[in-house]
Homo-oligomer: A and B are copies of this chain.
Amino acid sequence: MEDQIKTDILQLIGESRDAFVCSVDELGFPNVKAMFLAKHEGYQTLWFSTNVSAARTSQWKNNNKASVYFYDGEHIHGLMLVGQMEVLTDDETKLAFWKPGDEQYYSLGATDPDYCILRFSAETGNYWGQKKYLFHV
């Protein structure tokens, strides 16, 4: 990957509060929802926190195929990452991501059985910047 494209992609992710995260439901339909990005390592690995009981968590447990999209509507630049989503429920991971204030969503704290971490691992990407660019991770 060219250095400039890598820089642009990492800047787009770094400036994004929201990501549009996709699953495939039990009837084979694509589903999508905006989620706050909790953490990222480059564009290869992304983390989100959510409820174990959420519809989308069940979908990824059944079918780990996923995509994550970042969008800069001002410049109409977009990045789609396609890969696998894992649902992590171990206490070590949950404690590592826990932040003050998360109690409003998970009343039992970091080890709340309804609190989990999603880890997305990208395999391929499409970047629509100055021009279109497809890549493997």
Chain B residues contacting A63 (CB-CB under 8 Å) are 28
- Complex Cα distance, B76 from A76, in Å, reads 20
Is B78 in contact with A34, judged by CB distance below 8 angstroms?
yes
Number of interface residues of A (CB under 8 A): 27
- Complex Cα distance, B24 from A67, in Å, reads 10
- Report the 9 A-B pairs with minimum CB-CB distance, sorted nearest first: A22-B30, A30-B30, A32-B69, A29-B65, A20-B20, A29-B82, A34-B71, A22-B32, A30-B67
Chain B residues contacting A23 (CB-CB under 8 Å) are 30
Q: Is the interface of A mostly helix, strand, loop or mixed?
A: strand
The answer to whether the Cβ of A66 comes within 8 Å of any Cβ in the partner chain is yes
Indicate how many identical chains form the complex: 2
Is B18 in contact with A67, judged by CB distance below 8 angstroms?
no
Is A78 in contact with B33, judged by CB distance below 8 angstroms?
yes
Chain B residues contacting A61 (CB-CB under 8 Å) are none
- Complex Cα distance, B25 from A71, in Å, reads 20
Q: How far does the Cβ of A53 sit from chain B's closest Cβ, in whole Å? A: 12
